[in-house]
Every structure is written in structure tokens, then in C-alpha cells.
A and B are shown apart, each in its own frame.
Chain A
Amino acid sequence: MITIKNISKSYDKTEAIKNISLEINRGELFGLIGPDGAGKTTLMRILMTLLLPDSGKAKMDEFDVVKDFKEIRHIVGYMPGRFSLYQDLSVEENLNFFATVFGTTVEENYDLIRDIYYQIEPFKKRRAGKLSGGMKQKLALSCALIHKPKILVLDEPTTGVDAVSRKEFWEMLKKLQKKDITILVSTPYMDEAILCDQVALMQNGRILDVDSPSRITEKFPRKIIQARSENMFQLINDLRNFEKAEAVYAFGQFVHFTGIEDDVETTELDNYLEKLNHKNILVEEINPGIEDVFMNLMEK
């Protein structure tokens, strides 16, 4: 459905994306995962015909993003990273406006947005600027969907949204996927990556790896040890000073440890920490998550 071949793009002298190639199949929920500045937005804008690539080709449903931009603008739904609806128009007015702009009506495609829109419908007379963050996202999604697009592109839709709304939002995306809509979504949150069918890990304008989330973690060859103690700060410092330590990162309440050559055993680490007077020590081997993979790829 979306084919990207050797796309590069620079702003002045900074290269935003470098020689990216991707293939996204019809009906897929595809995630672009990467930190701020990885080039996710630039790539999406090129696909949305908002920017011209410096080199390379990209096609959306067989339409070229440079030549056939008019056709593409009929078949895509786009939700930019920033809330981009009219804050001084009400929920209802925004939705009606975007429906008319795309030459349709709210009634015609109400089915598609019902699950999302019914949650904000009680506030339909309220101005969009006065909605909560989660409701704004739902309205923006409704507006992006109102013309029943074939391809939906969402740029960091859950940034700045509370945990409950984030979960709901992803559930909605899963439902939309079943309605034969190809979805390309970007996110800086690794925990959302596992909800995608395929993910591309991006960093500094390059794609580090493309695969399904489970395959990405499965094929990760390294052994990850998770550790915890009462004094986290001390724990990180001590682990970093451990002679066989290769990478040590804080992950929420835990520290993820990778040893040189993976030959560090949990008992070895346990003993080392006990000697340094750590209390309530927990050391265990775990399956790597996407974050571990990402951190590892970034190191290279």
C-alpha cells in the first residue's frame, strides 16, 4: 500500500532522513518508533505530499507522492503532531467543516467514527480549544476519518495524552484496522510499539530495523538482566563500574544490565551488589523488550 524507496531529505545542511526504504502492506498497523528528531515527521510529511523529497521515490496506493499529489490528498487521512483543528469552532462545526471539505457528510460515514465520536458527542457544542487532551485527540481522529480514507497517517497521536486515553486510542486504531484502513503511526513510546503489526525503529534519519515487534525482540541475541535495590542512583553507578558491564540503563523501577559477551550470571551480579551494601536486591534474567533492542541499536 505504501512503498518508499531510497528517500532522502535535508533542511539546509542537516539531513533529516537518509536513504530510507520501507514497504507497508495493505491493512497493516505500522509503527515508526524513534526519539524526537529521528525523522519520523519528515518522512510522514513527504508521504502526505507536504514536503518534496530530495531524492528517492514514494508511492501511496500506487500514486506518486510528487506527481499525483492531488489524488493522494483524496485518499489519505492525516493527523499532524500538533493539535491542528480550529480551536474557536465547536466539536460539531469542526467535524462538519472537514466533512464538507472532503466532499462528504458526517452522516454518510458516521459508522466509521461512531465508536470514537460517541464519546465526545455530549460535548459537541463545546469549542475544540476547551476540550481535554484526550478528547482533542478523539476529535482530531474523527476529523481525519470522516472521509473514509484508505490510508491513515498519525504523527505522534498519543504524545501528551494520559495513560487511559492512550490505551483507548490504540484500541480504536485496532478496530479501524479491521475496516480495511492502512495505518501508519509514529510514537516515541516503546510500550506502544508492541501494539503494531510491524515497526520500523528510527534514529537520526535512518531506519535501524524493520520487523514485527515480537520478531524484533526474539532475534535480539543479547542477555538482559534486570536489577533493583533500594538505592537506585547508587545501583546504576555501581553497575556501571562493574568490570564486565557493557550497557546499563534505567527502565522505570528497574535497571537493565547487559554484560560483555553476555557471560555475566545473575548470581555473580547479586554477590557484587551485596558486597556494596545494597538492600532488597532483586536480580533476574528477562526477555528483552523493544526498548532494549532500541538502546542496543542506538549504541552501534
Chain B
Amino acid sequence: MTQLLSFIKKEFYHISRDPRTMLILFGIPIAQLLIFGTVIKSEINDIHIAIYDQSKDETTQQITNKLLSSGYFILDENLKSLDEIDAIFKRGKVREVIVFENDFGKKLIIEGTAEMQLIVDASDPNTARLATSYTKGIVNDYIQKLYPNVKMPMQIKPEVRMYYNEEMKSAYMFVPGTMALILMLISTMMTSIAITREKELGTMEILLVSPLKPVHIIVGKVIPYFLLSIVNAFVIIIIGKVVFGVPITGSFILLMLETILFILMALCLGILISTAAKNQMVAMFISMIGLLLPTIMISGFMFPIENMPEVLQWFSHIMPARWYITIIRGIMLKGIGITFIWKETLILLGMTLFFIALSVKKFKIRLE
């Protein structure tokens, strides 16, 4: 026991005395979270539009005001003819043009139907799609309020309500994903590097020729990173809540327990990598390319798993982050309990045990 304690103490010395390690442990997670949370967005802001209003009556004026006051749109120009539309798109700034037909207001009242046209620049299809659906939503909303008894004259589309993330805030989606990414990075990469560093510097040779058991070396290496990762997870949740307003609707304790399980899994994976990697470069390479990229791409962090080709969908099953992201999105955003996520939890637990068993088996008690 004293052997283990002194090993852990030694490990903390290593971590605290290496500025790079400290930076990776605490600088990168926070920077990453802030960057992912603010830069990558699936909501729209300040879309530039132009309006060609042929009717210029009270109704069109009110709809225009409603659109502009929503905060999503900025009016760049009022057009005077249809011919200008092509030119204004070519200039590139304006993404959407709204055209109201002649006598829009009158027709709406008398005939119960009026036409407006949305023309969008679909060179960026994502923005285009979002812009049209936002516009439709706002127009429908206006008309419904104006004539609550009139049957929807502008049958556009059934209204979609976004559950759990009503405003479609992308930070809600990215905070859980980033958390998985960061914990994976820190826990896996740092432990694999810490163990291979001993090999590279030759200190492993002395540790092996000592009464220390492999389990002492492994546990001694893992515990400091385990504790630091828990601190990290805590910091990420706090930042998510304070900076991005991501709620924790479910049980905080369950969230932390699941997070601890995920950290354990990542640490064991790190040990496994270190048993295979000869030096720090290889360990880093495996952790970065082999784990980080798949975690970002196919764990459902950025792209919905359902939209992937079948092969990748199948492949995503072996990504631990996939299960963890499902779990914490459930807890944080939907507020569900263990009864809904026991399957994912079991899968993570199984992976952890598998990695532990494999790395204990693969840990070399000799130099070859």
C-alpha cells in the first residue's frame, strides 16, 4: 500500500512539474469546449435578406417587421423588380429574398389566400433550409395570431416543435459531445503517454526490476489521471451551465457516476494502448488518429448516426463515446433516469472490463 501511495505521489510530481501536461489537462479542455460551443452552430443568426414587396400594404409591412425583429434576419435592400434578384444573389451577401405578390393584404382578407415567394441561395443548403423554415414559422405565426378563426390560408407545413432543445440551441448538443471528446482525449492519451514515457526514458527497466507488481504500476499511473479527469468533467459541466446555459434536467449524481464510468473506460483504453505502443509518439498517434477522429465523426457527436451509411452505423457501435453521449444527452437534456439508459451503461461497463482484462494480460513483466 505504501508502495502504491508513493507511486501515486511520484505521478503527481510528474504532472505538476510539466507545464505541457498541465496545459493539456486544463487548458485544452476549456478552450475546446468554448470553441466547439460557440463556433459550430446549427442555428441561424443575422441572415441577410432582401424583400421585393409589390403590395406595400399594412399586412406585408407587419410581416416584414415581425421577421426583422426576430433577430434572425437583417434587411439589406428593398428590391424594385424581379430582375434584381439574380444580381443580388451573385453579390453573395444576401441569402434569402422574400417576394410578396400584388395586393397581398387584400387578397388575404377577401380570398383567404395570398402568395409570397421565398427564394434562397442554396449554395449553402444547410443555411438555406434553416432560413426558409424560420421564415415560414414566423409568417405562419403572424397570420394565425392575426386571424385566429380563419383557417390557415397559407398552408405551408405542419408546425414542427423541437422537443428538449426548443430553440434548437446547438450548444445543448455540443456540450455533451465535447465532454465525451475531452474525457476521451485526456484520460486515454494522457495515461498512454505517461506509461510509454517510462518506457522511453528507461525508468520502466528499473520499475520492472523491483518488487512492484504490474497492478501497482497500472493503478498508480491511473489514479492521478482518474482524479484529474473527474475534476475536468466537473469543470465542463459547470462551464456548460454557466456559459452556454445547458441545463441538467436529470440527476446530477447519476450524471457524475456515468461520467466516472466513462472515465474509467477511457483510462483502461489508455493502458491498453500503452502496452502496444513503444514510445510516446506512437501512443499519441494511436490516441489522436485512432480514437479522436472516430469519436468526432461517427459517435453521433457531430453527425446523426441514423444518416450514416450502414457500415459506419455498425462501426459506431464499438465507439464508447457513442453510448456515453446517448447517456448524458438523456440525463442532461431529457432528465431520464437509469431505467432508460441501463443498456448503454452495461455496454460501457462491459467495455471497461474488457479493456482491463486485455491490458493486464498484455502488460509485459519483461522488456520484450
Contacts and interface: CB of A to CB of B under 8 A. Distances in A.
A85 B210 CA distance: 13
Interface in A81-95: 82-89, 93
A93 B13 contact: yes
A89 B368 CA distance: 27
Interface in B4-53: 6-7, 10, 13-14, 17-18
Interface residues of A, number: 30
Interface string A160-183: 000000000000000000000000
B2 A100 contact: yes
A204 B210 CA distance: 30
12 contacts: A73-B211, A78-B206, A80-B202, A80-B206, A82-B202, A84-B206, A86-B201, A88-B13, A88-B17, A96-B6, A101-B6, A101-B212
Contacts of A49: 208-209, 366
A141 interface: no
The listed residue with most B CB atoms (<10 A of its CB), out of A49, A93, A101, is A101
- Looking at chain B's contact residues, is the secondary structure mostly helix, strand, loop, or mixed? helix
B15 to A, nearest CB: 10
B65 interface: no
B253 interface: no
Interface of A: 45, 48-52, 69-70, 73-74, 76, 78, 80, 82-89, 93, 96-98, 100-103, 143
Contacts of B289: none
Contacts of B2: 100, 103
Nearest to B212: A101
A93 B14 CA distance: 12
B3 interface: yes
A165 B209 CA distance: 26
A138 B166 CA distance: 68
B210 A97 contact: no
A51 B209 contact: no
A159 to B, nearest CB: 14
A86 B14 CA distance: 9
B13 A89 contact: yes
B6 A51 contact: no
A124 to B, nearest CB: 15
Contact of B10 (A51, A70, A86): A86
B203 interface: yes
Contacts of B205: 50, 78, 80, 84
Interface string B291-326: 000000000000000000000000000000000000
B146 interface: no
A103 B211 contact: yes
Contacts of A143: 206
A51 B211 contact: no
A143 B10 CA distance: 15
B365 interface: yes
A50 B209 contact: yes
Interface in B74-121: none
A78 B208 CA distance: 10
A123 B368 CA distance: 36
A101 B209 contact: no
Contacts of A80: 202, 205-206
A87 B200 CA distance: 13
B367 interface: yes
A144 to B, nearest CB: 8
Contacts of A88: 13-14, 17-18
Contact of B209 (A78, A82, A93): A78
The listed residue with most B CB atoms (<10 A of its CB), out of A85, A100, A102, is A100
A69 B209 CA distance: 9
A83 to B, nearest CB: 8
Given A50-B367, A52-B366, A74-B211, A100 B6 contact: yes
Given A85-B203, A97-B10, A45 B367 contact: yes
